[in-house]
Structure 1
């Protein structure tokens, strides 16, 4: 078994945690200087490579650094777009990054004890989706939700008005017509908001 740390360009631990949760990658997210890493304990080398490849796809054009300690050896490599691009001298990688990284690899520092660490198991997929939303998309989602609620209420008012209107109640027919107008407007607003959101 080995200890694996994948150092990523994500600057905020919560963003990496969210990306890992949505990609079904489990571990502990830790701040490493200006970067963020995920610590995978008790994994074999193959699992570490798979995790690094998956995370490198999330990082877009940026590289991620994989460090795997097995027994007394540390293997290091750069990944981009799901592929290992190059091997890296482990000593050089450790020299250029904060000391906490070496402590995590040698297990002299526990990932849970690093300030700002996040267990991926503590975040639900719904929370992860919200964390990866840009402010613009979050605003679109809130607006769409508001109009969905309006549409549901308008639907209930329409159904209520139709139910009473069948008995010949004129006021109920007016309520039903009003409900239909509001419902149609709400549906148009939902379609409009989601259409604009898709372009962002």
Structure 2
């Protein structure tokens, strides 16, 4: 963890050019328990003016979700997915979001982004393509950090500042977004 998956996804999600391509944008933090009822409720809460907190009837939630998403172009980010218990759970979640449910003839270009640190989760989700973010090497992260943290004439003239910067990049663990 900690190489910038969430940060990169936030940049995509918040980019105005990308955002203008979608009628609906939804961000759900999933974490270690892939609870299809909770995730469906959160998605519904984002697309409706109604709270679904007390509702646990999954079929009813799915029907409402299908109604709200029908003929809409959407971007959904499922952030920090640790586990997708079974492929069946994943398919249940996606049921009302699949093209045959949201009128594929009217809407194309829907997107679901999944961030995960676990390759098998990405595979189980059936990603169209995955991007494996790697930590930067020490020299690369130092160059990036220097470029943003110091003015051009500053870093060489103050050894204490440079030492502090080098200590700081060790804490960043190669994360380019933290630099």
Relative to its length, the structure with more strand (as a share) is 1
Q: For the pair shown, which has the larger CA radius of gyration, 1 or 2?
A: 1
- Fold shared by both chains (TM-score > 0.5): no
TM-score tier (shorter): under 0.3
TM value normalised by structure 2? 0.25
Relative to its length, the structure with more helix (as a share) is 1
TM value normalised by structure 1? 0.23
